[in-house]
Amino acid sequence: MPQLDKVTFLSQFFWLSFFFLGFYLLLAKTFLPKMSRVLKVRSRYLGGVTQSAWQEENKKVSLSQSELSADGFKNFRSFFTENFQNTGEWAQASLSNMNKKELLDTNKKYMATLGHQSIVTNKTLNNLVTLLPPSKVDGEMYEKMYIATLFSSI
């Protein structure tokens, strides 16, 4: 195994010791004194303040937090309702403009096609009624077709 090789073991141990000692000195000389100063200031501040002062400060913070959240939700709601209304108005205007300008010819062709189909259907039913004589067996069918032609021609 290369980790236990006798040739490279001494150099690996040297660099491990070097970086570990460097990291330890960096922490001991720079970061730990800064942290101890912060902890000392905090303990002095906590020692001079009573429990009731902490409770009052806690109440102030919670009230300001609730006011801020209520104000934020109110602004959020008004913003989104306004945007949804504007979006709805824009969509309605776009749709009406599209129907007036771009889809007018398509709508006319569609209505003409529907009219043509209803005329063809009426003619076909009229031809069937005139071709098929009323009989006793098919009298009910004849009446239904005649009624259908009357209502479809309206």
Mind listing the pLDDT tens digit for each residue in 68-77?
889 999 999 9
SS3 122: helix
Query: Are residue 39 and residue 3 in the same domain, yes or no?
Result: yes
pLDDT at 10: 85
CA contacts within 13 A on the Cβ side of 142: 11
Query: Are residue 1 and residue 41 in the same domain, yes or no?
Result: yes
pLDDT at 149: 62
pLDDT at 121: 80
Model confidence pTM above 0.95: no
Residue type, 1: M
SS3 102: coil
Residues sharing a CB contact under 8 Å with residue 91, sequence separation 6 or more, in sequence order: none
Residues sharing a CB contact under 8 Å with residue 107, sequence separation 6 or more, in sequence order: 99
Query: Are residue 15 and residue 31 in the same domain, yes or no?
Result: yes
Query: Are residue 109 and residue 149 in the same domain, yes or no?
Result: yes
Domain of residue 150 covers 104-154
pLDDT at 107: 78
Query: Are residue 1 and residue 43 in the same domain, yes or no?
Result: yes
User: What tokens appear for 40 in the block?
Assistant: 């000392």
- pLDDT tens, 49-104? 666 777 788 888 888 888 888 999 999 999 999 999 999 999 999 888 887 887 87
Number of domains in the chain: 3
